[in-house]
Amino acid sequence: MTATWVRVLASYLHLLAVAVYVGGSVAMEFVLGPAQRFVPPAQAQVLGQRAADRFLVLVWGALALFPVSGMLLFFSLSDQHLVTRGELFSTGYGRTLVAMMALWAVLVVNGALITFVFRPRLARRATARGGGAAVAEQVESMQRAAQWVSRLTRVDLVLALVIVLFGASMAYGGGIL
Amino acid sequence: MTRTVLGYLFTIEWAVYVGGALFMELVWRPLQRHVPPGQTGAMCLAMGRRYRWLALACLALIAGTALAWSAVGGELAPGAGRRSTVPWSTVALGAAWVVLVGLVATMGLLVHPRSHARSHRGQDEGEVRRRRLRAIRLMDVLLRVELAVALMGALVAVWPVPSGPGKAL
């Protein structure tokens, strides 16, 4: 009975993490993004930054929840025997699990790049110090950062979809790889 | 392989639906405090339209996937209804789906247009504004009810049913 409850809780938390990550990214990209065209550009930029700030908190929460709920789910399903005795790379289940964890690590790295490298560049205020050339350089750096954030966000969404596919394959077919 | 694909689709559809509702509540709602009222209206109008179609598409796909699952599992085969009993979680999930479709349709087709209604010639501007505010308040309540039902639905969707697609997670 307890095992069932743990499994339900783990599954639910896992689904919520997927929902926040995938559903939130879809809403950010396809609902909020296009709607920003309906407000003045300066306001849209502030809005985008504030939305991204809030959404990043949820993203990090989801990224932290993935391994915790995943481990809980893994042990509640008593799947340990599928990856023990050196079978981590010799079974489809084991390989899929390793690939899933590797992709999760990529999501964490991309998240860190967005949070700690590109977003601070975007949030930096342009100053007139250094003359026109310096201002142009600052603007160019901000545009590059914005492009990188956009690219990485899309890559992350695709990776998250692949991770869910791996998860579904582990639940039904013993892994896809 | 078919079950993997159906389980995958079922998970993604619920995730996009629940994630969209969470995004609206946890990101967009607090954000509105930092936007001038006129621009909030314009944004709400544009986002509401897109969100309505996204939510309805997800709900339609959830129903389609569940039906496909039943067909694959044999629950929809002739005479299957007589020999098998439907688990409570399937009934609860179906009920949650009906409520969600009702809520999204009510918000999208009735309340959302009212919250952006403009006064026409001869209409009392004050009365139109009052109706608009009532619609906005109702929309707020319905969005929260939708989120609560969606979260409950997701919980039921992961309930262990021997042949259900929720087993994916």
User: How high is the pLDDT of residue B16?
Assistant: 93
Residue ranges of B 17-76 with Cβ closer than 8 A to chain A? 17-24, 26-28, 30-31, 34-36, 39, 42-43, 45-47, 50-51, 54
Contact state of A167 with B11 under an 8 Å Cβ cutoff: yes
In tens, the pLDDT along A58-70 reads: 999 999 999 999 8
Worst-scoring range by mean pLDDT, A115-124, B58-67, B117-126? B117-126
- Closest approach of A6 to chain B, Cα-based (Å): 11
* Between residues A99 and A135, the one the model is more confident about: A99
**Number of structural domains found in chain B:** 1
Q: How confident is the model at residue B168 (pLDDT cuts 50, 70, 90)?
A: very low
The domain limits of chain A are 1-78, 90-177
Q: How far is B168 from chain A (nearest CA, A)?
A: 5
Q: Which residue of A has its CA nearest to B162?
A: A172
Nearest CA in chain A to B32: A47
Q: What is the pLDDT of residues B90-140, one digit of tens each?
A: 888 889 999 999 999 998 888 888 877 776 667 777 787 888 888 888 988
Instruction: Measure Cα distances from A113 to A86, A117, A150, B11 in Å.
Output: 34, 5, 12, 28
Q: Are A124 and A138 in contact (CB under 8 A)?
A: yes
- Segments forming the whole domain that contains residue B73: 2-168
Q: What are the Cα distances from residue A21, in Å, to A36, B24, B29, B91, B148?
A: 21, 14, 18, 28, 19
ipTM score assigned to the predicted complex:
0.84
Q: Print the SS3 string covering A118-151.
A: HHHHHHCCCCCCCHHHHHHHHHHHHHHHHHHHHH
Q: Do B160 and A16 touch (CB under 8 A)?
A: no
Contact across the interface for A23 and B20, Cβ inside 8 Å: yes
Could you tell me the pTM of the whole model? 0.84
Q: For residue B21, is pLDDT > 80? A: yes
